[in-house]
Amino acid sequence: MKKSEKELKRLQDLSAVYDTKWYDDVISGVNGFFTSLIRDNLDNLFLMGNILSNFLKNGKFSTEGSENAEKVLDYLERTYLNDKYANKTWYYGGKSLANLADMLTGACFFVKGIGTFAIGIGGSSASIALTSTGAGSVIGVPAGAISGAAVMAGTAESGFGASLIYSSARNSNDNWEKFKESKSRGGGSKENKEFKGKKYKGIRNKDTDFINGKGKSTLDKHAGKHGYNSSKEYLNEARNFLDKQPTKTTQSFVSKEGTYFRYDTATNEFGIINKYGSISTYFKPNNGMAYWLEQIELYALK
């Protein structure tokens, strides 16, 4: 049965079985940081657009409709970025850091906008007061400028800043919760000892590899289904994967029924040796890690 996007996302969020390298961690963090920068600003633009649209239509300031844009951005991030990072702790840590940076940026825009607005409506007295304190040089508004354009510019800047603070803070709550959840599951990059790759300990029965319960061979069917031109080549690769010594990227577990499951995070190979010691499954799953996590959910000892 084809898994829903929600189910696949849930499985991918179970990141404790990842065993990543330091550079994977750094890349994940950088990816999260810049993804969050883009996301905050897109959220902000959509939010301001909705507020302006609602004001022009109804004469009221409202964020109604902004949730549709959020759903679209959530979908794009989930679809195109979920398999682009290896360590969720670093990814969401990077996103949270970017949220903080955006909130500080928003605060700067807000303060600058208020200053510009005050000068625009306050005239020379406000400008002189600001200049005497040195604030004029920081705010960057010419002393003595009395302009409707300054009022509009100040309103736009302060509005942009306030909106950026709001959207960044909202995203920050979600990213921080995911960061804490991922960290509590083992830190993302820490190797999960429970699923560390181990060699099959039972007695291998190679004569019945890919023989079903009715005594019929399923080798040709499996080989064809997974794109192999030669059944012999497929069988050799399956045996090589499941019989060789585990590597650092190999993970495995044994089910309650005695079925041996193995997956390699580097080659994306997945295979099963049934309780009779015979290979019954070997292929490279389309969803990779998500598929492996699903097998753990379904069959690993709790």
Structural fold of domain 193-299: Nuclear Transport Factor 2; Chain: A, (3.10.450)
Q: Which residue bears the tokens 């919760």? A: 177
Element holding 272 (H helix, E strand): strand 269-273
pLDDT at 60 over 50: yes
Indicate if the alpha-carbon torsion angle 159, 165, 169, 171 is positive or negative.
positive
Count of C-beta atoms within a 10 Å radius of residue 259: 18
- What percent of the chain is predicted at pLDDT more than 70? 74
**60 or 285, greater pLDDT:** 285
Q: Please state, in angstroms and rounded to a whole number, the distance separating the CA atoms of residues 163 and 47.
A: 7
Count of C-beta atoms within a 10 Å radius of residue 260: 21
Q: Average per-residue pLDDT in the chain? A: 79
pLDDT at 287 over 50: yes
pLDDT (0 to 100) of residue 250? 93
pLDDT at 278 over 90: yes
Count of C-beta atoms within a 10 Å radius of residue 272: 19
Q: How far apart are the first and last CA of the chain?
A: 23
pLDDT (0 to 100) of residue 232? 95
pLDDT (0 to 100) of residue 238? 97
Q: Please state, in angstroms and rounded to a whole number, the distance separating the CA atoms of residues 17 and 20.
A: 10
Which neighbouring-strand residues pair with 251? 196, 263
> Per-residue confidence at 126, pLDDT binned at 50, 70, 90?
very low
Q: Please state, in angstroms and rounded to a whole number, the distance separating the CA atoms of residues 94 and 92.
A: 5
Q: How much is the average pLDDT of 159-167?
A: 87
> Per-residue confidence at 228, pLDDT binned at 50, 70, 90?
very high
Task: Say if CB 278 and CB 209 are below 8 A apart.
Answer: yes
- Domain locations along the chain: 20-184, 193-299
pLDDT at 80 over 70: no
> Per-residue confidence at 16, pLDDT binned at 50, 70, 90?
very low
Task: Say if CB 96 and CB 33 are below 8 A apart.
Answer: no
pLDDT (0 to 100) of residue 148? 76
Which residue from 82, 3, 12 is spatially nearest to 289, judged by alpha carbons? 12
Task: Say if CB 264 and CB 249 are below 8 A apart.
Answer: yes
pLDDT (0 to 100) of residue 125? 45
Burial 209-235 (b: 16+ CB within 10 A, else e): bbbeeeeeeebeebbeeeebeebeebb
Q: Which pair of structure tokens corresponds to residue 147?
A: 């302009």
pLDDT in tens, 101-117: 999 999 999 999 899 88
Q: Please state, in angstroms and rounded to a whole number, the distance separating the CA atoms of residues 55 and 181.
A: 39
Q: Please state, in angstroms and rounded to a whole number, the distance separating the CA atoms of residues 146 and 61.
A: 28
